């Protein structure tokens, strides 16, 4: 089995604030059985595929909760919105030449969450449900158990390599998927200091929001970070959740010339990217608006496509290349609410963002990967005719009561009621099932907003430099290993700043 030739990071110096020569990726990570298994798969695939030039850049698009049934239904809906039957349509990334399947389970869970899955995709190591940037040796919620379990993401490695780095999401930037690019946390819910449990007030890495700022310990910090979650960066006096008195948005902007912070789409449009080295945009207190609502309500928030375009404009001139993660986070949220229309229109907007990226980059030196962290209990059923409204009725049950083509195995929209003393399934055709606010019926009532993830494989679509590495059925952490090794990040020399110079100064806790 081929393994990366790496050693642990050497002792940090205190004078220059930079570690002495060594590699960022520790041997404890590359010797992890999950990493080694994916590394063997990578070596096997690489040996049978054409070996084109090493990619200089990477973009990972994550459709949170975007299972295959979601892709299929979104493809049909997009086609129907354009006046076609829909089935023959293709989303932008479905036209990529390489397709694989990803096995998404967490170490301790047959059906995964976004924290464990994102850690796998970013580090090449599978881990437990609910934790970020740490291996399975951690105890969720126990900050004292983190030491020795830390993992290095390819975003950290890219930053250490001098590449420009960026993260974009329609969810809170402190949420599991974007947080997985930069955070080391024993619990995905530690989004600000008020979320840290008793006894963890001086947790070495800090809350997730503060870690976005301390990401500069790997280089000079994110060049661009755009999304929601403003409340985790602001004090309570400013309408946020922070209890430590820190305004992280001000700390970002006050770092000097070239550091800019915006909180509206209008302000983003006014940013002079030529004079901006580091851009932070927080466009909502919590998650950003659904795309449908953003348009209908005229919210002063950028679309996912607009954020992707700005991010690439900010990143792609770096001579060393760039690394970018873009998440469509609200596909997942709409599914949890049992609202197919918004889940599918969020997926269509992700397709638009991918198309914009393909248009902007040089694929001969850029690897683009589109995938999901997990799926949902979302089905396409019945025998509707081709071209039938994908949001409409797909058939009738044994009692002659219609059912919609799209349904959920569980969730909060109860399908049954009492009529004349008998339990009957309610007739969805008595409602406008194409209305954006319609919630599909469910089989098992798990409560409002409580539709669950599912455990089946999800697809990986890839194009560009070395994209042919993505084929077959792979463990999800194969994505992380493939990105790390294809870009040569496994041998990146460390540029980690010392805690005495950077961490204590920014966090103000020691």
Catalytic residues: 114
Chain centroid to CA 99: 19
CA distances from 6 to 12, 31, 250, 434 (A): 17, 10, 38, 55
Using CA atoms, how far apart are residues 221 and 219, in angstroms rounded to an integer? 6
379 is in an annotated binding site: no
Q: Is the CB of residue 34 less than 8 Å from the CB of residue 20?
A: no
Using CA atoms, how far apart are residues 439 and 436, in angstroms rounded to an integer? 8
Q: What residues contact residue 103 under an 8 Å CB cut-off, 6+ apart?
A: 457, 473, 474, 475, 476
N-terminal to C-terminal alpha carbon distance within the chain: 44
327 is in an annotated binding site: yes
232 is in an annotated binding site: no
Q: How many CB atoms lie within 10 A of CB 500?
A: 14
376 is in an annotated binding site: no
Q: Is the dihedral of CA 289, 294, 298, 302 positive or negative?
A: positive
453 is in an annotated binding site: yes
**3-class DSSP state of 208:** helix
300 is in an annotated binding site: no
336 is in an annotated binding site: yes
Judging by DSSP bridges, how do beta strands 472-475 and 98-103 pair with one another?
parallel
**How much helix, strand and coil, in percent to the nearest 5, is found in the chain?**
35, 20, 45
Using CA atoms, how far apart are residues 495 and 23, in angstroms rounded to an integer? 9
Question: Residue 106: which of 171, 196, 176 has the closest Cα?
Answer: 176
Half-sphere exposure of 385 (CA within 13 A, CB side): 2
Q: How many CB atoms lie within 10 A of CB 224?
A: 26
175 is in an annotated binding site: yes
332 is in an annotated binding site: yes
Interior CA angle at 456 toward 455 and 459, to 5°? 125
Q: Which residues are annotated binding-site positions? A: 64, 175, 177, 327, 332, 336, 373-374, 453
Q: Which residues are annotated binding-site positions for Mg(2+)? A: 64, 175, 177, 327
């Amino acid at each position: 089995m081929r393994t990366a030739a790496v050693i642990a990071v050497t002792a940090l110096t205190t004078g220059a604030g930079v570690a002495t020569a060594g590699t960022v990726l520790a041997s404890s990570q590359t010797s992890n059985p999950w990493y080694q298994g994916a590394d063997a798969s990578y070596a096997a695939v690489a040996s049978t595929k054409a070996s084109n030039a090493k990619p200089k850049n990477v973009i990972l698009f994550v459709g949170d909760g975007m299972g295959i049934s979601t892709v299929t239904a979104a493809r049909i809906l997009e086609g129907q919105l354009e006046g076609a039957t829909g089935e023959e349509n293709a989303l932008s990334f479905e036209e990529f030449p390489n397709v694989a399947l990803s096995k998404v389970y967490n170490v301790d869970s047959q059906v995964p969450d976004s924290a464990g899955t994102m850690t796998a995709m970013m580090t090449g190591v599978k881990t437990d449900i609910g934790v970020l940037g740490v291996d399975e040796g951690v105890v969720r919620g126990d900050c004292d158990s983190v030491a020795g379990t830390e993992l290095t993401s390819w975003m950290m490695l890219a930053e250490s390599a001098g590449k420009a780095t960026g993260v974009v999401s329609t969810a809170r930037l402190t949420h599991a998927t974007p947080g997985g690019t930069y955070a080391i946390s024993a619990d995905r819910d530690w989004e600000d200091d008020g979320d840290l449990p008793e006894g963890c007030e001086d947790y070495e890495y800090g809350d997730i929001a503060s870690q976005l700022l301390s990401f500069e310990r790997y280089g000079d910090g994110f060049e661009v970070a755009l999304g929601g979650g403003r409340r985790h960066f602001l004090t309570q006096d400013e309408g946020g959740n922070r209890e430590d008195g820190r305004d992280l948005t001000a700390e970002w902007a006050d770092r000097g010339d070239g550091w800019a912070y915006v909180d509206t789409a209008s302000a983003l449009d006014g940013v002079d990217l030529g004079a901006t080295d580091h851009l932070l945009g927080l466009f909502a207190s919590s998650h950003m608006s659904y795309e449908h609502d953003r348009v209908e309500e005229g919210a002063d928030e950028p679309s996912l496509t607009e954020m992707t375009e700005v991010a690439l404009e900010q990143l792609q001139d770096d001579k060393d290349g760039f690394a970018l993660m873009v998440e469509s986070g609200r596909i997942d949220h709409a599914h949890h609410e049992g609202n197919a229309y918004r889940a599918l229109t969020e997926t269509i907007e992700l397709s638009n963002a991918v198309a914009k990226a393909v248009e902007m980059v040089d694929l001969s030196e850029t690897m683009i990967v589109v995938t999901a962290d997990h799926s949902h209990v979302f089905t396409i059923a019945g025998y509707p005719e081709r071209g039938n409204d994908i949001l409409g009725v797909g058939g009738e049950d044994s009692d002659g009561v219609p059912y919609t083509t799209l349904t959920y195995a569980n969730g909060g929209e109860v399908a049954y009621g009492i009529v004349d003393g008998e339990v009957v399934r309610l007739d969805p055709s008595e409602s406008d099932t194409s209305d954006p606010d319609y919630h599909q019926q469910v089989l098992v009532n798990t409560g409002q907003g409580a539709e669950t993830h599912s455990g089946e494989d999800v697809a990986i679509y890839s194009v560009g430099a070395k994209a042919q590495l993505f084929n077959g059925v792979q463990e999800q952490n194969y994505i992380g290993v493939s990105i790390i090794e294809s870009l040569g990040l496994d041998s990146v020399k460390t540029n980690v700043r010392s805690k005495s110079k950077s961490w204590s100064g920014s966090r103000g806790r020691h």
